[in-house]
Chain A
Amino acid sequence: MDYLEPSDLEEACRLAAGGEDAVVLAGGTAVVLLMRQHLLHAGRLISLQRVVGLDQIAETSEGIAIGALCTHAQIAGSPLIQQTYPVMSRAFLSVASPRIRNQATIGGNIALGDPHFDPPVMLLALGASLEIRSPGGSRMVGLHEFFHDYYETDLSEGDIISRVHVPLRAPSSGSSFVKYMTRSQDDYPAVDVAVHLELDEAFERVLSARIALGSVGPTPFRSEPAEELLVDRGMSDDAIQVVAEAAASSTDPPSDVRASAEYRRDLVRVVVQRAIRSAAEDARGRAL
């Protein structure tokens, strides 16, 4: 197996385009594990470790740009993210264990396309998009269009995620992230729910909503039927219940050791309601 360490991204993309068995390596936690389990065969590993400039978190005119090599720990600990989206900081802090958070990167997490992972759910709710480099070019892809199927994403040979863009936080907006675990604290969730709401100045009317779900289907996704209902109907208890029902019906959950499909759907019904209320509180709290 070849181990290549390009020092710039263009070169990395060119190498990654060089055959089906080329695998891009960032923090390594997922790639090494999958290779050990014989689920991934790599003829050449392209390590991004020497690529400069992908480990920064920066404020831009459009929001926050997070380099793909930023670790989960770095993102959770970033003062910029803690101030702008404290909920996002907590979501990254909920991933696995401190050791894994010190190693695993945001780019690697998203690129794997694992439906159990937490960051994609949070980032879907925040309306994030990805900057993807390929040999000789780059493109932006909304995260909601990125996940195609179980471990299948928009990435093709030679594509490398370079940055994750999180939009500016609108006034009177708030977010929530709920990771519902049925086993230990460092396990995957049975259900993940993240919500981002933009409210009017009186915090009564919902101007826009994003409701993202994880671990309840082949990909993390946004429940658009639920989002539309929330914008139309508002935030009475009855309305929220209808929204949560719609979210639950939009899932196609698996049954596994963490929860049965039926239980997962029930959980979505309950957790979505909590997450909506919590996002509204986050919006109000920010205004004070």
Chain B
Amino acid sequence: MTSSRLDSGTQPRSDGAKRLRLTINGHEYDVASDSTARLLDVLRNDLGLTGTKEGCGIGVCGTCTILVDDVAMTACLMLVGSARGRRIETIEGVADGGDLHPLQSSFVKAGGLQCGFCTPGQIMAALALLRDRPEPTDSQITEAMLGNLCRCTGYYKIRDAIKQAAAHMTATHPYRKGTRSA
């Protein structure tokens, strides 16, 4: 790849063949990647973070859902250049070492998964929801999870899992109530 690299300031920067610095799950990564690679490919192929799945590849199915600055986004429709300087979170950063996140435990308990392929995306979408609304209503859950497709569970158990996690999280961390709600 060629690039007419110019310096910063008001000049445009071109990072064709440069190393990119990304912040993922609180860690800094230096990646030898073209800015025009898809973030999903960089996560999976360059960094080995294969928890983020590719389903449809056209932004419809939600399996590649990640958080960018706390907001759910689609890794298959994002170039890695657009991810630079932003806080990326993937499913690999959700558990605390060996301890599952309450959302992960409740998906297991409520049977919110069967084959598991869509689950990383479901968890990330749910995580974004609960940060925004610690005690979501059923319709808020339905709205927030729209476009995260699951071909196994029939969705009710996913909704139940999110409700259980919300109840657990607000009970154990009551100070989180109402934070960041819109």
Q: Which residues of A contact B (CB under 8 A)?
A: 1-8, 11-12, 15, 25, 28-29, 32-33, 36-37, 45-47, 49-50, 73, 77, 96-100, 102-103, 185-186
Contacts and interface: CB of A to CB of B under 8 A. Distances in A.
Contact of A100 (B9, B74, B143): B74
B112 interface: no
B143 to A, nearest CB: 7
Contact-size category for B: 35 or more
A257 B131 CA distance: 38
Contacts of B14: 2-5
Nearest to A29: B77
B120 interface: no
Contacts of A28: 77-79, 82
B154 to A, nearest CB: 15
Nearest to A4: B12
A33 B64 CA distance: 14
B182 interface: yes
Contacts of B125: 98-99
Interface centre among B12, B34, B57, B65 (most CB of A within 10 A): B12
Contacts of A33: 58-59, 77
A103 B78 contact: yes
Contacts of A6: 10-12
B81 interface: yes
Interface centre among A3, A28, A73 (most CB of B within 10 A): A3
B77 A98 contact: no
Contact of B73 (A50, A77, A103): A103
B51 interface: no
A100 B128 CA distance: 14
